[in-house]
Amino acid sequence: MKFNINPVSDVGALVPNNDLCSLVTGLNDGIFAMGRLSHAIKKIEASFTYNGGLALTIHFVDPLGNESFHATDYRFIGKKSLRPSAEEICEIFLPENHLANFIRVFLLKAEKKLELAREALKLQLRT
């Protein structure tokens, strides 16, 4: 898994250290809380918008190599604060929340494709 964290906002201002610490702690805790589902995550990109608000893009991949992503920003994290706490960032990764469900559905689609491919292969091998 790769992290790409930009410590400079869109307007060139450095992001305060405590905000970066909250981000890293929240991401680490969130990935741990997600459990085995986190193995699908390939890369997490974090940036800070012109007004200092956090924006996240989480890229993930299925066993077939198909990639997808989910993007969110501070307006959808915790109390919608420009600078969410580590706990609020962690919450988006919890198994009962939207991101985990999004990844789960993505992986279930891959499972269906694999099942169809197995059935097609079985038919081809019988003839």
Tokens read off for 79: 């109390």
Q: pLDDT tens digits, residue range 59-85?
A: 999 999 999 999 998 888 888 888 899
Distance CA 27, CA 93 (A): 8
What per-residue confidence (pLDDT) applies to 16? 87
Q: What is the largest CA-CA distance in the chain?
A: 66
What per-residue confidence (pLDDT) applies to 94? 87
Closest CA to 96 of 42, 43, 35, 11: 35
Q: Show me where the domains of the chain are located.
A: 2-126
Q: Which amino acid is at 44?
A: I
Q: pLDDT tens digits, residue range 102-113?
A: 999 999 999 999
Cβ atoms of 78 and 97 closer than 8 Å = no
Distance CA 54, CA 60 (A): 20
Interval 37-44 mean pLDDT? 94
Q: Which amino acid is at 6?
A: N
Distance CA 82, CA 61 (A): 29
Q: Give 71: exposed, middle or buried? Use CB within 10 Å, 0-12, 13-18, 19+.
A: exposed
- Its pTM stands at 0.85
